[in-house]
Amino acid sequence: MSEQTKKENVVLHAKSLSKSYSIVDAPDLKVLNQVNITLHESSSLSIRGDSGCGKSTLLNLLARLEPADEGTIFWGEKRIAAASKPLAVEASWRAKHVGVVYQSYYLIPELNVLENVLMSVRLSGLSIAEYEPRAKELLDQMGVESKSKQIPSKLSGGERQRVAIARALVNRPKVILADEPTGNLDERTGAEIMKLLLNASAKEKTSLILVTHNPSFARATDETSILKDGKLIYE
């Protein structure tokens, strides 16, 4: 692959991301120190590390849910100053380019399963009528299409995470950011969810950054890394 082709196939790039938090009567806590990430199309990267080391913070910066102290982020060809306050227009960009899967699902309790999946479509300004068949197809792929009219409180934890994965994929994003997606699930259900996530990402040709404590899940990605002392170390 030529250098030009490699550059064109980069779907997410982060350069020199740093983040500190102020602590009363103590020096600032630096959780990220000059972190660099390059993610190519249809690739996957896992990030492991001790609790509190900054893994979730890193994903929040990549999704532009909070500003960094310094650094640059590229969503495809969109260049973003990571230290700037997130702009309203970025919500639309994010909805089309980045899908996020959280440990705690974050489904809207008043909406049914299908409406939760279609909320990503609504936020991105895409056509609900055009994307509803895709939403139903993803729910079927996740094994929960029969639950489409149920509200989240009627679902098990594994079913809620299946819905959350469908929601993250529905807009055909270039990147999925998954933050401990099996953290609230038992071992068997977690393994099922991880298999679904990896298979769905491969089928959709969506790149994946996976934060996980589970070494076997981490080894299932194309690249593995550890976040330690604010640095991202590739294995």
- What digits encode the pLDDT tens for the residues 177-203? 999 999 999 999 999 999 999 999 999
Read off the pLDDT of residues 159-170 as tens digits, 9 standing for 90 and up: 999 999 999 999
Domain interval for residue 120: 3-234
No. of helices (H) and no. of strands (E), the chain: 8, 10
Better-scored residue on pLDDT, 127 or 6: 127
- pTM of the prediction? 0.92
The CATH number of residue 117's host domain is 3.40.50.300
Dihedral sign computed on CA atoms, order 77, 1, 197, 17: negative
Q: How many domains are there within the chain?
A: 1
- Tell me phi and psi for residue 110, to 5 degrees: -80, -15
